[in-house]
Amino acid sequence: MKLLRVGTAGAERPALLDAGGTLRDLSGTVADIDGALLADDAALDRVRAAAGEGALPALDPAGLRIGPPVAQVGKVVCIGLNYHDHAAETGAEPPAEPVVFFKAADTVVGPNDTVLVPRGSVKTDWEVELAVVIGRTARYLESAEQALAHVAGYAVAHDVSEREFQIERGGTWDKGKNCETFNPLGPWLVTADEVPDPQALGLRLWVNGELKQDGTTAQQIFPVAEVVRYVSQFMTLYPGDVINTGTPAGVALGQLEPKPFLRAGDVVELEIDGLGRQRQELKGA
Q: What is the pLDDT of residues 172-208, one digit of tens each?
A: 888 999 999 999 999 999 999 999 999 999 999 999 9
CA 265 vs CA 40, 84, 255, 262, 283: distances in Å: 42, 31, 21, 9, 6
If DSSP codes are grouped into helix, strand and coil, which group holds residue 163? helix
Mean pLDDT across the chain: 95
Q: How far apart are CA 203 and CA 113, in angstroms?
A: 20
Per-residue model confidence (pLDDT) at position 173? 86
Flag whether pLDDT at 90 surpasses 90. Answer: no
In degrees, to the nearest 5, what angle opens at C-alpha 114 toward C-alphas 178 and 255?
Answer: 65
If DSSP codes are grouped into helix, strand and coil, which group holds residue 201? coil
Residue 79 burial (C-beta neighbours within 10 Å; 0-12, 13-18, 19+): buried
Flag whether pLDDT at 3 surpasses 80. Answer: yes
Whether 155 and 274 have beta carbons less than 8 Å apart is answered as: no
Is pTM beyond 0.75? Reply is yes
In sequence order, which residues have a C-beta less than 8 Å from that of residue 125 and are 6 or more positions away? 160, 161, 162, 163, 251, 252, 253, 261, 262
Section 105-131 average pLDDT:
97
> In Å, how far from its chain's centre is CA 266?
20
Please report, as a single letter, which amino acid is at residue 214.
Answer: D
- Domain borders along the chain are 2-53, 76-284
Per-residue model confidence (pLDDT) at position 172? 82
Per-residue model confidence (pLDDT) at position 56? 94
Whether 122 and 92 have beta carbons less than 8 Å apart is answered as: no
Residue 21 gets the label, from left (phi > 0), alpha (psi -120 to 50) or beta, of left
Say whether domain 76-284 belongs to CATH 1.10.510.10.
Answer: no
pLDDT, tens only, 41-67: 999 999 999 888 888 999 999 999 999
pLDDT, tens only, 135-147: 999 999 999 999 9
Section 22-44 average pLDDT:
96
Section 251-257 average pLDDT:
92
> In Å, how far from its chain's centre is CA 199?
15
| pLDDT category of residue 123 using cuts at 50, 70 and 90 | very high
